[in-house]
């Protein structure tokens, strides 16, 4: 349920910030000096993921977890389910600022890292009351990458039809409960991510692609003729020209025509009205559009979108729902070269149903570089026939017929009794009970090639001291899970 989308890091000259964005970022151009920086493990928690065969050159370094005590804020607790995220240079001095959604606690944390990349201080800039809904994937929009006037952390709400996208100042003052940051022009739905495209995709415009995590999920497109405008644009939904809304009418190996239908007066509509409009206008209904990202590189690449449909099943976790993917899919959407809402092409490029339980299971977050799509599983649907724990898969864009390769897997250490007592006590034998949050490229920011951050939701790691991590005191904020962020080095781009 979760992610973030990340893009090419670029310097924010007027603010002195260098951002790294959310779900996946492919940074190639900036070579910021970082002579004091040393990438190493800083967390007391061991890495909760392991490398798969064929990727032995990867290095995993735990950066921060819920058990860590930070020297400058010993009372801070890194909260549960770190999902959408971003990284930027500290505008107030040396070091970096790490921004994380905490999905289940509806909050956003800000962690300060010193010049060596060690976490030293943490605080919450949004708490449970201010988040209002679960905050899942996110994207850090910037002037250099997206043409926005200033940096803005766009985080999508995912708790039903009336949820909205928040626009949050990542380095602004603490303002935990301000509801004025929600943006009705981007619609109301159980959203997962709102991803602004690179400014070179459609110069002079703001184009944001949005995914809806619902059984009848939508792909939405927001377009404004003003860079950075989140108030006055138009919102569109995707449909096929023949009006067929059924997902399983689409199969791998074929590029299908799609088009865009404007939702008039969207800012004053309820989520229920928007959902009804989608049915009346035969929008394409997909099984849980959880995350989206665009290919890095040229303007043409930036108009090549990849997104996941996580999939749904009947209550028995074995039987498919008619018309929907069950095991999950990855789609490629090629937007029109000159007009963001012009005719486009849609294709299924990865389908977990080709090898049920043995291939990709419930793809959730997604990270796209120049040449690869990294597909992160959310297998906590607990499908009976799943044969592996949660994985991150590498799919080669330039070899579309090639099977994706498993790169990482959750490391439950089920034969280690001490580890299991702490991290797996409630279901040590269940496959795929943990999930991933954001995966994003920080290479240029830290001046270390092929370096990413990966967020982890180890759902069975529970401790009462993690409860109410954001300090909101909300009666409903009872989740006691831990969370972790790891550095991943050696990732091909």
Instruction: Please give the backbone phi and psi of residue 118, each rounded to the nearest 5 degrees, phi first.
Output: -95, 130
Q: Does 340 fall in a domain? A: no
Residue 212: helix, strand or coil by DSSP? strand
Sign of CA dihedral 223, 334, 1, 100: negative
Q: Are 157 and 191 in contact (CB under 8 A)?
A: yes
Per-residue pLDDT tens digits for 440-472: 999 988 999 999 999 999 999 999 999 999 999
Q: How far apart are CA 44 and CA 414, in angstroms?
A: 20
Range of the domain at 239: 19-285+410-489
Q: How far apart are CA 353 and CA 274, in angstroms?
A: 30
Say how many domains are in the chain: 1
Q: Measuring CA to CA, how many Å separate 35 from each of 117, 227, 490?
A: 11, 35, 19
> To which H or E segment does residue 308 belong?
strand 304-309
Q: Are 487 and 118 in contact (CB under 8 A)?
A: no
pLDDT at 12 exceeding the cut of 90: no
Q: Does 464 fall in a domain? A: yes
Q: Among residues 132, 59, 201, 22, which one has the least CA distance to residue 474?
A: 132
Encoded tokens for 383: 């499908």
Q: Does 36 fall in a domain? A: yes
What are residue 61's DSSP bridge partners? 487
Percentage of residues in the chain having pLDDT higher than 70 = 91
Q: Does 326 fall in a domain? A: no
Averaged pLDDT, 156-178: 87
The C-alpha torsion from 272 through 168 and 220 to 346, rounded to 10°, is -150
Q: How far apart are CA 426 and CA 298, in angstroms?
A: 47
Q: How far apart are CA 256 and CA 240, in angstroms?
A: 8
Q: Does 99 fall in a domain? A: yes
Q: Among residues 45, 69, 169, 171, which one has the least CA distance to residue 119?
A: 69
Q: Are 96 and 117 in contact (CB under 8 A)?
A: yes
Q: Does 314 fall in a domain? A: no
Place of tokens 């299908």: 256
What are residue 140's DSSP bridge partners? 153
Encoded tokens for 129: 């009351």
Residue 65: helix, strand or coil by DSSP? strand
Query: What pLDDT, on the 0 to 100 scale, is given for residue 179?
Result: 65
Percentage of residues in the chain having pLDDT higher than 90 = 80
Residue 179: helix, strand or coil by DSSP? coil
Averaged pLDDT, 192-214: 97
Per-residue pLDDT tens digits for 217-239: 999 999 999 999 999 999 999 99
- pTM for the model stands at 0.93
Q: How many residues does the chain have?
A: 493
Q: Does 369 fall in a domain? A: no
Residue 268: helix, strand or coil by DSSP? helix
Query: What pLDDT, on the 0 to 100 scale, is given for residue 15?
Result: 36
Q: Does 224 fall in a domain? A: yes
Query: What pLDDT, on the 0 to 100 scale, is given for residue 413?
Result: 92
pLDDT at 4 exceeding the cut of 70: no
């Amino acid at each position: 349920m979760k992610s973030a989308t990340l893009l090419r890091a670029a310097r924010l000259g007027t603010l002195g910030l260098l951002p790294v964005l959310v779900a996946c970022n492919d940074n190639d151009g900036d070579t910021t000096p970082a002579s004091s920086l040393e990438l190493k493990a800083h967390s007391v928690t061991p890495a909760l993921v392991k490398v798969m065969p064929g990727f032995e050159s990867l290095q995993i370094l735990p950066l921060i977890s819920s058990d860590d005590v930070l020297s400058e804020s010993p009372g801070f607790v890194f909260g549960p389910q770190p999902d959408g995220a971003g990284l930027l240079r500290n505008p107030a001095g040396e070091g970096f600022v790490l921004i994380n959604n905490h999905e289940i606690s509806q909050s956003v944390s800000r962690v300060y890292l010193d010049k060596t990349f060690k976490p030293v201080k943490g605080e919450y800039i949004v708490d449970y009351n201010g988040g209002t809904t679960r905050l899942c994937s996110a994207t850090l929009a910037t002037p250099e990458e997206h043409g926005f006037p200033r940096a803005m952390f766009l985080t999508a709400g995912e708790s039903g039809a009336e949820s909205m996208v928040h626009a949050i100042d990542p380095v602004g003052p603490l303002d935990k409960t301000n509801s004025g940051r929600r943006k009705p022009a981007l619609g109301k739905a159980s959203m997962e991510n709102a991803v602004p495209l690179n400014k070179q995709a459609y110069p002079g415009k703001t184009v944001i692609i949005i995914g809806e995590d619902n059984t009848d999920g939508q792909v939405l497109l927001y377009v404004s003729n003003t860079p950075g405008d989140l108030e006055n644009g138009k919102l569109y939904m995707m449909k096929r020209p023949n009006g067929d809304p059924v997902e399983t009418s689409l199969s791998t190996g074929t590029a299908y025509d799609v088009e865009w239908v404007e939702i008039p007066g969207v800012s004053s509509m309820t989520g229920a009205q928007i959902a009804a409009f989608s049915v009346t206008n035969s929008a394409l209904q997909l099984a849980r559009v959880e995350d989206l990202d665009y290919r890095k590189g040229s303007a043409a690449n930036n108009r090549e979108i990849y997104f996941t449909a996580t999939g749904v099943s009947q209550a028995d976790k074995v039987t498919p729902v008619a018309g929907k993917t069950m095991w999950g899919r990855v789609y490629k959407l090629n937007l029109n070269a000159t007009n963001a809402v012009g005719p486009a092409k849609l294709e299924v490029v990865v389908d977990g149903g080709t090898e049920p339980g043995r291939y990709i299971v419930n793809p959730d977050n997604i990270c796209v570089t120049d040449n690869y799509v990294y597909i992160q599983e959310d297998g906590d649907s607990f499908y009976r026939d799943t044969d592996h724990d949660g994985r991150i898969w590498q799919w080669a864009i330039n070899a579309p017929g090639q099977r994706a390769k498993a790169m990482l897997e959750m490391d439950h250490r089920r034969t280690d009794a001490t580890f299991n007592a702490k991290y797996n006590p409630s279901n040590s034998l269940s496959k795929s009970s943990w999930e991933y949050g954001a995966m994003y490229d920080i290479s240029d920011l830290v001046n270390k090639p092929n370096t990413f951050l990966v967020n982890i939701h180890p759902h069975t790691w529970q401790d009462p001291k993690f409860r109410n991590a954001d300090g909101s005191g909300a009666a409903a904020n009872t989740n006691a899970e831990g969370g972790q962020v790891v550095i991943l080095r050696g990732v091909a781009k």
